[in-house]
Amino acid sequence: MVAPIVALPKAEIRPNHWPDDISFLTDQTYSAVVTAEAKVSLSRITAESPTYAKIATEALVAPCTRLDIRTIDDTKHPAHGQRGIFASQHLVPDSFICLYVGHVHTNSQSDTDPYSDYDLALDNELGLSVDAARSGNETRFANDYRGIYERPNAEFRDCFIKVKSDKRADGTKWERRVGIFVMSAGKAGKLKGGIKVGMEITVTYGKAYWESRKLLATFRKDAEMRTKKS
């Protein structure tokens, strides 16, 4: 049994073309199983921390002004009839686009939705992931580039944002998140133009994604077996 979702606040303003059956979030929510210690640890300093971008608060406007959600009507598109996200302004290489927001849960079988296709690792050391299956923001509609472009034009990256903290003198602290960023231009400069207005923003789901599919498939089988027994 998956742990219950705690307090899923809906945003007052939702993006255009947002589905009625999904809660639009402006920040992450947390499973009741995620401990206070784990939440605090999202602000810890690791060897990789200096490489993470620190996102300015003003860049975290919700709904995201850099994105449009559209239903894909191209019959040749692998996600035909589904939604995708498209650039509403020119996005330069390496620039921040939007946070990947959803419900943070532990990676235990009892706290993981075995049927979700929107689960992304947040912190492997802490055993935390963020799931946007039932609640999230625009980034849940980012499609894999395969069958659309020759290569992805965006990618998931770890980053930090400022959050409230009663224990800090200035009342804030940096906390780890996952965001979508425009790909670097590359040594050959093939992506130096960034993402133009109207282009679909695509990522690669990557090896970790497909490996997690195998794990979730195991969870699904276990869940189905428990259902049959009951």
Q: Does a structural domain hold residue 57?
A: yes
Strand order in the sheet with 29-30: 29-30, 103-106, 128-131, 119-123
* Range(s) of the domain holding residue 194: 23-229
Q: Mean pLDDT, the chain, as a whole number?
A: 88
Asked, for residue 61, whether it belongs to a domain, the answer is yes
CATH code, 146: 2.170.270.10
3-class SS string, 137-181 = CHHHHCEECCCCCCCCCEEEEEEEEEEECCCCCCCEEEEEEEEEE
- Is 105's pLDDT higher than 80? yes
Residue 194 has pLDDT above 50, yes or no: yes
**What is the tens place of the pLDDT at every residue in 15-57?**
999 999 999 999 999 999 999 999 999 999 999 999 999 999 9
How many structural domains is the chain composed of? 1
> Looking at residues 64-93, what average pLDDT do you find?
98
